Every structure is written in structure tokens, then in C-alpha cells.
Structure 1
């Protein structure tokens, strides 16, 4: 293959980067060397800072505004404002594409997809553009005329395509890409031994994504009412500020704080249950590990859609109230029927081979 494919991601949460890395590794297995571009940072570090901080502040200060924008955009093309913003950076992106003699482009973030669509339109670039959707439900904000293929976890492709007058042949129901890892077959006891975890008590994992966006301390306080002491793994990602707050929180449970790690899948395999927001990549990884999921503290909009989908398919349960968490966790950990029902739901939905299916489809075109 002539030239170097580019996989465009964005460090807004870690899931999009994980998906990009998974695709890069799969291409390498096929003998294709691709480069992952942290798009906004590559254009300019100030742009990355602006986009990230704007997004985080909106979620923190006015999550309801983000929610209204997301659902309003299902019927009105509010998202096209991103394309206009992206037109300011066409020349920088064009330089990257030209330098690599890029044979095709992949985007793992919808904001980035808008920028790349504007690039293709303005510079008449012939290289195909593929978008990998890291949520379980389709949204019209993903759609652009310049996109040559959509890779999705959704099975409602025909209905969505007809509604928005897009060819259903442009959609591929592959699932969400996750890193290949032999630990998906690792037994629970072996996983705990590798991670030096207590093998004799129930283990609960609390995940907040790459930025550690959940209130670990309040969750720990709520779980004090569990009838037995359990092992709790707090995965804080890159959020080091929350680490000391967790350590300072007294608990009857055996609490471990774990920063960003490439062993997240192994920790999932070692656990009996997961408390998490409904980020698409984290949920795809949890499904692949067949771990019972309790969804808590979702980001408005896209994660609400993910939550609706997973609960309706029997792969997760959810709550928005701290006082309901202990009862839910007790059922997940100690009631075999609940535990097995959620595991079975995950088994039916999981797509651990999504990454290879995406790359096979792209390379076959």
C-alpha cells in the first residue's frame, strides 16, 4: 500500500484514543503502518485545550444544556456549526494528509469527523474517509456526504438510513473496536492472581473513563451499607486529583486506587461487577468480558442512549441515585439469577472481533 493511512482521534475522554489504537494495531497485523493523530492537539495545543475545557465545563456547569443540544440536533442540523468551525483549520489538516500521501482516513470522534468532512469538501480529496462510531446508537450528527463508510454497533441501520436518506450500504454493523487481548479468555482466579488481588472476596470495579469522571467518594460512602466487606477497585484514569480523596475516605471495604493502565480488560476479568458511566468503548470492553454492568452517572445525551440500549437488551441495570446503589450491587454480587442474567445479556451483545472486521472491510475496498 502506497502512503500511510491516518487515524484521526481526539483526547476528549480516553475511549476514542483506545479505539484508534486498536485500529492501528490491527492494521499493523495486516502489514499496514498507520499513524494515529490526536487531531486538535496536532492542529494546535491551544485548540485542544479550548475544545476539551469547553466540553468539560459544559458537562460540569450545565449538563442540561449539552443534553438539549444533543437531542435538539436529532431533528435540526445544529451540528453543522462544527463544520464551519472546522473550515478554519482545513490548511493544517491538508498538510498532514499530503505529507503522509494518505490512502484513506479513519475518524474515531464525531467532532473530528466534521473537520475532516470539511477538509475533503474544500480540498477535493479523493482518499476515502471512514468514521468509527464509538456509541451504540446512531445520531444524525455523524452523517456527512463526504463519508465513505460508517462502522457502528447499531443494528437499526436500515431504519436510520431511510429516515435520513442515506444509503444503507454505507453502514457496517461491526461493533465498537477494542484492543485485542488474550486476557478475554483469562479465568477470574488467574486474573486476580496476575493482578495480586484478593481471590477470596467479591470484587467490584468502579470506572469513570480515562478522565475519572465519577464521584468515587460518594459511591464508596453509599456502599458502606453493603452487608459484607468487598474488594473495590477504583479506576481513576488520568485523574490523579481524585486519588488522594479516595485514599482519605474511610471504608470497611478493601479499596484499591488504580490510575491509567493498559490492563483494564484484565481488571474487568478479575471483577464480579462494574459500576460505570455508559461510555461506548468502556461498555464494549465490559461486554467482551461478560461482566455484569451497573450504569451510574451517565454523561447526558449519547451516554443516555447507550444506557437505554444496554438496559433494554438485558446487559445492564442502571440508577441515578446513590441510595439505590447498595441494593443493586448486592443483587449483582450475591444473587446468582441477576448475575447470570446480566452475563448472558453481555454474551449476546459482545463483539470482541469488531476491530478486525472494520479493518478487513476497509482493506477490501
Structure 2
């Protein structure tokens, strides 16, 4: 049944949307909340809930997903083993049968208790059982409960994403669309290439920025730098990120960037998003950064105006998270990737490189990162080419478009 099965009367008074998500990395929740924001803008009166059905109603080992993720993401070799083993046809069949047998009734009751108008899964472990549960709820109540999948990966995706029975599956890239088609479960006409849902701030900033390297684009960048009260507004600016927890070899990368920028005579501002890493932030604040040249290094905590900081920057240095990559592309910002989770994020590196808007250099080679970034900053034509390629990949209004298609 199509999305139009949501009655007009319910859409007019707002929808109750149930998102199925988990805090395994920040991307799933961020995508859900960006979609929720658009539902509320498009359909006034809309309410929403975020539910982790695996944690609430799952069985071992799935119900310890959040804590397991935190451990494995800090140990990439272990992550690679788990991801490789689980991303197989054999595991998919086993997990599907196991979860449906052990959890479906509890999941169905849980979903029903929220009385949603629509269910949206933004996590691969929350597709197969909820699809069955929504079908049974529809049969029991006589009222169709539609369920959609929004895939929050860009270059590669786990096999559990592609459960059939959804109204539509929204994907963020051609790579994921081809993968979904190859899996053969979801009919081609239900697979919609829409881009990755990101915060509405990025759509606003993308419109205001326009073409980054045009005269108007440069003028707007200067304005944003002043509004952010950056230490300087006339220097090349590098934004360094390590994820929401401030993890990764940030300190070594920042040191290498500082040395290379100073040695190559590039007057620059390096903005470091430290997240919860107060130790790093204190280290950056107390160091003497004037010994080699005119390079200013500033540590930031959690950033709430990320879209504006990306507009203010000339280059982003970051791990290969799909949300961060999509946000950077939305505001035509070139990306230097420094790390990725094996399997899950590997394809994101290819997405950036094949898209022509960045490069990859491992965080184990911080000097190489510094050299590459300096090369870009020394070459305005190269920087503009990277920026234009990023803009071509950017889909700043993906969240709005997805919400509109679901609501219509």
C-alpha cells in the first residue's frame, strides 16, 4: 500500500511518527531528528518518538548493542571481524529467524503502545521484525500502519538494512541504491534515491552561501566568520573533527597541521571540535602556538552551529562518518578523511574520492594529512574544483524531500 494510505484528516492535524533508532554512533539519531523537524514544519501538530526496540525488547546479544558498539568502535580490528561475519547471507537468515521468533510479539506490543500513524526505521537491526509487526498490527486493527526505511549509510551498507515489506526505502547515494537492487528484496520502484537526511540548518546555510568561491559566496563566508566571532576572519580556515566524542588521533593531526602550515608560510586558523575531550581542549588552550608562524589553533567543545562553522571553513578534516560527509557536501566544503570503521564506513571513503571532493590519508600519517591540506590551501583552483564537486554531491534538502514523500 502506498504512502497516500495515511488519511488526509490525520495529516491535516499532524502526524504521530515513531522512529526506530539506536545510539550506535550519532548518525542514526541525527537523521531521525532531522526528519522529525521537517515533519513538524510540513505537517504542523506533528509529534514524534524515538524508540530503540532492540534495547527494549531484543534478546542477547542484540540488546547490548549500544555498549557493544562503543567498545567495538574503539577497537577497529574487532569491529571488522564482527561486521564481516554479520554482513553475510547466512547471518542475515539466522538473525531474521531468531529475532522474529523471540522478539516479534514484544516489538508489536511496543509499537502498538505508541499508536503511531507511521513508523520509520533508521537502523539496520530495526527493519525485519518491525515490518512483520506493522503488518500484523494493520491486520489486527483494520487500519494500515505504514513503515518506511531510511538508510543512513553512503558508500556501503549492512545486509540487514534491506528487509522487504516497507512502503519505500530511501537511500542516500547511487552506491546504496545499486546495493539495494543487487540484494533483490525491495522492489526497484520502492527504492528512492533522496540523499542522506541532515539538519535543516544546512539547507538554510547552503541557500545563503550559494556558490562558495563566487564573490557573493566569499562575502557570505566572511560574514559568518564575524558572526561566529572567530579569532580572525581573513585567514584560510581548517575545521578538524573527530566525532561527537572528540575521539581519534586529533592531537597528532592538529600538531602536524600546525607545523606544516607554519613551515609553508600559510597564515591559517585551525578550529578543533573537541567534543567531550576536555583534556585535548585544555591542551590546545594552554599551548604557545606562536613559536613557528602565524597559525592560530582554537579548541571548541560541542558545536551547536555546525552548519555555520562548515561555511566558515575552507577545508574539513574528519573521520568518514556519513552524516558529516553529507553535511560538508551540502555546503560545498572539501573533505580530508582520516579514519573509518572497517566495513561500515569504508565505502564512504570511496564515495568522497570518487565524487572528487576530497581525499583520504590515515590518521597514523598526520604529516601526510598536513601536507595534503596545505597543498589544497596553496592552490585556489584545486580548492574551487573540490568545492564544486562537493556541491554537486550535496543534497541539503534531503530530510524535507523524504518527509514530504512519506506524508503525501
Residues 87 and 115 of structure 1 are in contact (CA less than 8 Å); yes or no, is this contact kept in structure 2?
Answer: no
Counterpart CA distance in 2 for 1:112 and 1:239 is: 31
Partner of 1:362: 406
Partner of 2:182: 163
Task: Report Cα offsets for 1:111-139 as digits up to 9, x if no partner.
Answer: 33355346447767752221111111353
Partner of 2:366: 322
Where 1:105 maps in the other structure, the secondary structure is strand
Task: Give the superposition deviation at 1:89.
Answer: 5.0
Counterpart CA distance in 2 for 1:129 and 1:328 is: 45
Q: 1:254 to 1:129 in 2, by over 3 A?
A: same
1:13 equivalent in alignment to 2:62: no
Q: For residues 81-92 of structure 1, what are the structure 2 equivalents within 5 Å?
A: 82-83=95-96, 84=98, 88-90=102-104
Most deviating of 246-255 and 290-299: 246-255
- Choose the corresponding residue for 1:174, options 194, 208, 215: 194
Partner of 1:204: 238
Task: Give the superposition deviation at 1:299.
Answer: 1.7
Task: Give the superposition deviation at 1:286.
Answer: 0.2
Most deviating of 136-145 and 164-173: 136-145
Counterpart CA distance in 1 for 2:52 and 2:345 is: 23
Residues 205 and 308 of structure 2 are in contact (CA less than 8 Å); yes or no, is this contact kept in structure 1?
Answer: yes
Residues 5 and 100 of structure 1 are in contact (CA less than 8 Å); yes or no, is this contact kept in structure 2?
Answer: no
Task: Give the superposition deviation at 1:337.
Answer: 2.2
Counterpart CA distance in 1 for 2:31 and 2:326 is: 10
- Choose the corresponding residue for 2:91, options 78, 81, 89: 78
Where 2:174 maps in the other structure, the secondary structure is coil
1:217 equivalent in alignment to 2:251: yes
Q: For residues 232-271 of structure 1, what are the structure 2 equivalents within 5 Å?
A: 232-240=270-278, 242-247=280-285, 251-252=289-290, 253-271=295-313
Counterpart CA distance in 2 for 1:319 and 1:363 is: 42
Partner of 2:223: 190
Task: Give the superposition deviation at 1:200.
Answer: 1.9
Calculate the TM-score normalised by the size of structure 2.
0.79
1:301 equivalent in alignment to 2:343: yes
Task: Give the superposition deviation at 1:146.
Answer: 3.4
Q: 1:239 to 1:19 in 2, by over 3 A?
A: farther
Higher gyration radius (CA): 2
Where 2:64 maps in the other structure, the secondary structure is helix
- Choose the corresponding residue for 2:334, options 286, 292, 295: 292
Q: 1:265 to 1:114 in 2, by over 3 A?
A: farther
Q: Give ranges in structure 2 of 5+ residues lacking alignment.
A: 1-8, 210-219
- Choose the corresponding residue for 1:276, options 294, 318, 321: 318
Q: Give ranges in structure 1 of 5+ residues lacking alignment.
A: none
Counterpart CA distance in 2 for 1:247 and 1:212 is: 16
Residues 138 and 154 of structure 1 are in contact (CA less than 8 Å); yes or no, is this contact kept in structure 2?
Answer: no
Residues 162 and 180 of structure 2 are in contact (CA less than 8 Å); yes or no, is this contact kept in structure 1?
Answer: no
Most deviating of 304-313 and 252-261: 252-261
Partner of 1:113: 127
Residues 153 and 176 of structure 2 are in contact (CA less than 8 Å); yes or no, is this contact kept in structure 1?
Answer: no
Residues 24 and 35 of structure 1 are in contact (CA less than 8 Å); yes or no, is this contact kept in structure 2?
Answer: yes
Where 1:237 maps in the other structure, the secondary structure is coil
Partner of 2:115: 101
Q: CA RMSD in A?
A: 3.0
Task: Give the superposition deviation at 1:266.
Answer: 0.6
Where 1:5 maps in the other structure, the secondary structure is strand
